[in-house]
Structure 1
Amino acid sequence: MVLTFSIIIPTYNRPERLATCLEAIARVDYPRDRFEVIVVDDGSEKPIEPVVSPFHNPLNLTLITQANAGPANARNTGAAKAKGKFLVFTDDDCTLAPDYLHALDVRFTKTPDCLIGGRTLNALTDNLYSTASQVLIDYLYQYYNAGSNESNFFASNNFAMPTERFQSLGGFDTSFPLAAGEDREFCDRWLHHGYPMSYAPEVRIYHAHKLTLPKFWRQHFNYGRGAFCFHKVRSRRDVERIKVEPLSFYFNLLTYPLFQKSDQPGLLVSALFVVSQIANIAGFFWERLNQTTEKFT
């Protein structure tokens, strides 16, 4: 039987999270002979074979090890070995809902040529910084994916697409060294070629990214770095310049947490949104200055 899905998971120095991720996949309610799991170890300090070995029996699992080259490269490595008709990308700190593949199957049956982005839920609701990070993503999804046929951006921890189209586009741009911006660039390139994107909120994962204030700052600083790389790569294509978002975008961004149900105080989440935007701007200009300096040395 031809495989329907290839689930690709890049991993780096998070063996406990990876084990939890694989445990969730082993519980997915979907025929085992119709999907495979490809784990790409992106140069972890310790071997992860002991982590994945218990899952070789319940899952059709392949482990690939490579020197550290970043998540974009690791995803491409996994995709190159994939045998499924559709590629499913997630991260090692995410767990799939039991009906995840079934929900994707239904979607692809209706729109087999689409890039489908699912909904990500925060698994660490007691963590203020993790909550703020996820609520920010929720706002961006609401803004950039306003309608079922008007989607513009999905994060790479929960999206899927036809393998053939992924390969025809050349996969992820490996000039992105961090887990920041490479998914945005891929979505932009996908749309540039006239391919459709669709948001599927019933395709659910749970994200367990434990953050502290310094880690929250670094995350959004790196997002800023990725944003600069995105603009640089995009400028090489013959496309219109990205429009600056209106002031209403930022006003709605800062007030959005006040109207969301959450275990965390809305005012604190809004305050962290301010921190995230400052970090993002700092990262953008740091990357710009760093690349300009390297150019002249």
Structure 2
Amino acid sequence: MIELSVIIPTYNRAGRLRSCLEALTHQTQPAADFEVIVVIDGSTDETSEMLAQLATPFTLTALHQANSGQNIACNNGAAHARGRYCLFLDDDIVAEPQLVAEHLRLHRKHKKVAGIGQITLNVVKPDWFMQRFAEGWHEHYQQLNLALRQPFWADGYGGNISVSRAMFMEVGGFAPDIRRSGDIELAYRLEQHGLRFIYLSSAIGHQDERKGYREFFADAAESGAAWVAICRRHPSMLPELLGRLGKTRAGEALLRKLFWRCGLSPWFLARSGSFLARTSWGSSWYRFLFAYGYWWGARRAIPDGETWERMVRGVPILMYHAFAGPGEPPSRFVLPVKRFARQMAWLKRLNYRVISLEEFLQYRRQLQLPPHRSVIITIDDGYAEIATHVHPILCRYNFPATVFLVSRRIGGCYDWQNHEALNGRRLLSWTEIREIASQGIRFGAHTRTHPVLTGISVEDARAEIAGSKADLESALQMPITTFAYPYGEFDEPVQDLVERTGFSGGCSADSGFNNWAIPLTALRRIEIEGTWSLLRFLLALHLGEDACKIGIKKPAYSGE
């Protein structure tokens, strides 16, 4: 009895299709258990004649359709399938003997699963870019082979994937109007319907990649444009798809913009910059071009610059600490109040939209785009001058801000590390906090005593994180939903504690913009140093990091 239907869409690749089918004749799974359906998508070569002459131990069916694309071909094949399970296979995949058996074994054992098989890649055109691509492809599957992460919808490459026919039909099959990346769009819908993805390391198919870098970038551009359409249909896919495109450092972002404005395509850069592949910059140049190929397609699909910035670039979060009055010298953590006032004036003059951290988190949770030119103001530690000097400036411009408080030091002084500019500096009192809270200032938690959370036990970290939230909520009678990591130090266990405690967002000290790829418990912030000029501030606001330190690792915090 036929249990599994192997569905192979094909277009003008008779030779490779023959190799694919011949490999299927050598499967360890009995031929009576599966059928093969080849959907000929308007081919004009000798595909039909080859199939008519091919003798196979399994039932082989050829379906003909006008050229309509791979997605419609797969749907056509599934509509004619007799098996309970569908295995979608690309026509250039040469299956190892156990491939069908591995997929069928999975579905016999588990319900509501999709099987993702392994695909090895052999580059036929050995140009430098495609050789690097093959290495990256291998690394991707090595992560799955070593179980370094669990597969999810983004791993649902349609060249070697199986699913129950009933579930495939229930979710509507492949989207017929999506020309590229339809496989991951289907995988996303399957996951939304409760399917788990299981990686089958022994369901191996070998693929000869005959494309060169020019063909690769043409496909990448089409995929980038398709991602835009997919994200409009499924906004929750934004973090994984378009979020990737914005997850880059300032220098790379500037290069992208420069190349885009100059009309330099990724395939032109791959050709003209091939000499870089032989230098120490080779890996970085490849990664840049790889991402730029998809970025190029997505950018062309969103011609409106404002929408593009809102969708991909992300929102800067400014991070301040202490503020100096007249006569006090500036330092890294102490910004003269006059400079702060000038910075706020320029935010207003340049039409930045200052939103609260809580507003931003709400936009993210609701999968909505923040307003164009949004920026967020945060202040760590809660020094007393916030009430006397900073709050009046914020009120002048009607700017919201979030102040992160060290709950067991409120009303006291800075004492958690030796830092000359901060030692003994007075912190806000409860009375001052309540007063400015009534006038628009928001508050977040910064632990109870400002320890390095990664340097203490999990139980102590839990007490610091949860305790600070409880202290503030009890004293202020308001929900405390945001958190800032002392010294910017955090790891996965600390992030997990922050999330489990009920915080909707956690702020780090890593620089950069906050696009869809940045986890809400690891938000980036731009540290505004007290010694900066106005120009340096404006450049950091535009770049997402200090222009003088692009590509340089920020020194560890020493005092705040």
State the TM bucket, normalised to the shorter chain.
0.7 to 0.9
Q: State the alpha-carbon separation in 2 of the partners of residues 226 and 96 from structure 1.
A: 29
CA drift of 1:130 comes to 4.3
User: How far did residue 56 of structure 1 move?
Assistant: 4.3
**Segment drifting more, 214-223 vs 148-157:** 148-157
- 8 Å Cα contact 1:41/1:63 also seen in 2: yes
Q: Which amino acid in structure 2 is aligned with residue 160 of structure 1?
A: S
Q: Which amino acid aligns with 2:160?
A: N
* Number of equivalenced pairs: 270
Alignment pair present for 1:209 and 2:209: yes
> What does residue 102 of structure 2 align with?
103
State which of 283, 288, 298 in structure 2 corresponds to 1:274.
288
What residue number does 2:220 align with?
Answer: 220
Give the partner amino acid of 2:293. A
Q: TM-score by structure 1 length?
A: 0.80
CA contact (8 A) 1:130 1:210 kept: no
Q: SS in structure 1 opposite 2:111?
A: coil
Cα distance in 2 for partners of 1:189, 1:39 equals 25
Q: State the alpha-carbon separation in 2 of the partners of residues 55 and 47 from structure 1.
A: 12
The question of 1:29 aligning with 2:28 is answered: yes
CA distance in 2, matches of 1:21, 1:247: 39
Cα deviation, 1:41-88, whole Å, max 9, x if unaligned, reads 111123521121233443311101111111111100100000111100
CA distance in 2, matches of 1:274, 1:39: 38
| Greater mean alpha carbon deviation, residues 120-129 or residues 77-86 | 120-129
Q: Secondary structure at the match of 1:197?
A: strand
Contact preservation (8 Å) 1:127, 1:211:
no
1:126 shift after superposition: 7.0
Aligned residue for 1:279, secondary structure, equals helix
Aligned to 1:84: 83
Determine what percentage of the aligned residue pairs are the same residue: 24
Task: Report which structure shows greater RCO (CA 8 Å, sep ≥6).
Answer: 1
**SS in structure 1 opposite 2:205?**
strand
Structure 1 residues 211 and 273: alpha-carbon distance in aligned structure 2, compared to 1, 3 A threshold? farther
For structure 1, the 5+ residue unaligned runs are 252-263, 293-297
The whole-number CA distance in structure 2 between the counterparts of 1:213 and 1:147 is: 29
Identify the residue that residue 298 of structure 2 maps to in structure 1. 284
**CA–CA separation in structure 2 for the residues paired with 1:176 and 1:152:** 16
- Structure 1 counterpart of 2:423: none
- Aligned AA (2:76): T
1:68 is paired with a residue whose SS is coil
Corresponding position of 1:132: 132
CA distance in 2, matches of 1:186, 1:133: 24
**Coordinate RMSD, CA, aligned:** 2.9
Selected match of 2:158 from 143, 156, 160: 156
Amino acid corresponding to residue 172 of structure 1 in structure 2: F
In 2, are the aligned partners of 1:127 and 1:210 still within 8 Å (CA)? no
Instruction: Verify the 8 A CA contact 2:120 2:206 in the aligned structure 1.
Output: yes
SS at match of 1:201: strand
Which amino acid letter does the alignment assign opposite residue 210 of structure 1?
Answer: R
Q: Kindly tell me: are residues 270 and 17 of structure 1, through their superposed partners in 2, closer, same or farther at Cα, counting changes over 3 Å? A: farther
C-alpha spacing 1:54/1:127, structure 2 compared with 1 (3 Å): farther
CA distance in 1, matches of 2:222, 2:132: 16
What letter corresponds to residue 275 of structure 1 in structure 2? L
- Correspondence for 2:175: 173
Task: Report if aligned partners of 1:173, 1:182 keep a CA contact under 8 Å in 2.
Answer: yes
CA contact (8 A) 2:121 2:138 kept: no
Shift of 1:6: 0.5
User: What letter is aligned with 2:182?
Assistant: E
In the superposition, relative to structure 1, how do residues 150 and 11 fare at CA in structure 2: closer, same or farther (>3 Å)? closer
Q: Which 4+ residue blocks in structure 1 deviate beyond 6 angstroms? A: 264-267
Shift of 1:123: 3.0
Deviations along 1:248-292, one digit per CA (max 9) or x if unpaired, are 9xx9xxxxxxxxxxxx989756533322211111111223349x9
Rounded to whole Å, the distance in 2 between the matches of 1:211 and 1:54 is: 29
Matched AA of 1:283: G
In structure 2, the residue matched to 1:261 is none
Aligned to 2:525: none
* Counterpart contact for 1:153–1:188, Cα < 8 Å: no
Return the TM-score normalized by structure 2. 0.44
Whole-Å Cα distance in 1 between the matches of residues 131 and 148 of structure 2? 22
Determine the structure 1 residue equivalent to 2:376.
none
* Cα distance, 1:181 vs structure 2: 1.3
Supply the distance in 2 between the matched residues of 1:37 and 1:130 (Cα, whole angstroms): 31
| Equivalent in the alignment of 1:182 | 182
Q: Distance in 2 between matches of 1:140 and 1:234?
A: 25
In the TM superposition, residue 29 of structure 1 has moved relative to its aligned partner by: 1.9
Pick which of 49-58 and 15-24 moved more: 49-58
Counterparts of 2:237 and 2:152, CA distance in 1: 18
Deviates more, 1:125-134 or 1:200-209: 125-134
Deviations 1:176-213 (A, max 9, x none): 12xx2111111111111222111122211111121222
1:52 and 1:288, CA in 2 relative to 1: closer, same or farther beyond 3 A?
Answer: farther
> Where do residues 37-52 of structure 1 align in structure 2 (5 Å cutoff)?
37-52=36-51
Specify the SS of the correspondent of 1:123: strand
State the alpha-carbon separation in 2 of the partners of residues 52 and 289 from structure 1.
45
CA distance in 1 between partners of 2:153 and 2:301 (Å): 28
How far the C-alpha of 1:220 sits from its partner, in A, is 1.7
Q: In 1, are the aligned partners of 2:25 and 2:56 still within 8 Å (CA)? A: no
1:60 maps to: 59
Native 8 Å contact 1:97 1:205 kept in 2: yes
For residue 201 of structure 2, what is the amino acid of its counterpart? P
